[in-house]
Structure 1
Amino acid sequence: MFPSLKYYYLVLIGIFVSLVYVYFGWKYFEYDSEGEVVVFLNRGVILSNFFNYRGNAIEIRRSRIVGYKIYNFLIYKRLVIEIKSKSKTYTRHSNITFVSPNKINYLRQSLDKLIAKNKS
């Protein structure tokens, strides 16, 4: 008459995993390439109006961006930006999991144009 306990636990585990995924993955992403500084902004969607507990802002001068890569894992997307300093090259990353494919294409076009301009 009662469903098996293993199905109950599977449902609870599924709900827990989906909540963890939404909490850690669901971030608002903003890209601004106007002016001399390029800004990549990530902040949490949940409760971000009250306090910014997961904010990540990357501000880079246009001339210092050397390259970028977009990693597309099964349930997670990451943008990695390569930045040139005086002595070395280092990377910064940003979460773009919930950004639409059209906006990712616009981001690629903008970064490709910026990198081509920096190389010439």
Structure 2
Amino acid sequence: MRLSNKSKVPLYNFYLTVINLLLFAGIIAFLLEILRFNILGNEQYLLLIVPVLLLAIFILRGKQIFEYDSDGEAINFKNRNIFPLFYKNVSDEFPKYKVIKYEVKDLIVLKRLYLTISSKKKNFIILKYDISYLTKKELNDLKFSLNKVIKNNREKEKLQLTQ
């Protein structure tokens, strides 16, 4: 199964552009309010706080682009940001049989996927992916696919133990 929200890059770029324009306009309006008009009083700080808060939420939600491919014998995960200065891009590929379990953490602002895989050197490795920008349907499809992989791994393990 393949899952990607790469087609939404123009939408995320639009959001980031609007937030940056709001921040720029807020700074100019704040400076004009302080130096010239003095109409708003203490509410003048909202001209800065609101755009900064929107930008912080956009950045804290994590990487916008998430790609998943479980076709074949390997699983591919790619997680990247539309603006590469904030985070490093993540790209992982490993065999399906190494997947042990997964967990989706859903906080108010962000969602994360924690994937536990087996390793030769260590017992387990936990990989983290930002999935905040996936829709509910995409998230359900991802969970369904990962459940299917884990179920197949457990069946193969049981089959090997009985032989």
1:69 maps to a residue whose letter is E
Q: Of the two, which has the highest radius of gyration?
A: 2
CA distance in 1, matches of 2:147, 2:71: 15
Q: CA deviation at 1:113?
A: 0.4
CA distance in 2, matches of 1:39, 1:110: 12
Structure richer in helix, relative to its length: 2
* Per-residue deviation, residues 73-92 of structure 1 (Å, max 9, x unmatched): 00000000001113411200
Q: TM-score, normalised by structure 2?
A: 0.65
Gapped regions of structure 1 (runs ≥ 5): none
Residue of structure 1 in register with 2:145 after alignment: 110
* Per-residue deviation, residues 69-110 of structure 1 (Å, max 9, x unmatched): 000000000000001113411200000001000000000000
| Residue 77 (structure 1) aligned to one of 111, 116, 122 | 111
Residue of structure 2 in register with 1:36 after alignment: 73
Helix, strand or coil at the partner of 1:68: strand
Q: TM-score, normalised by structure 1?
A: 0.86
1:23 paired with 2:59, answer yes
Q: CA deviation at 1:118?
A: 0.4
Structure 1 vs Structure 2 CA RMSD: 2.1
1:8 paired with 2:44, answer yes
Q: State how 1:93-108 maps to structure 2 within 5 Å.
A: 93-108=128-143
Runs of at least 4 residues of structure 1 off by over 2 A?
23-26
Helix, strand or coil at the partner of 1:94: strand
Aligned residues: 116
Residue of structure 2 in register with 1:92 after alignment: 127
Q: CA deviation at 1:7?
A: 1.7
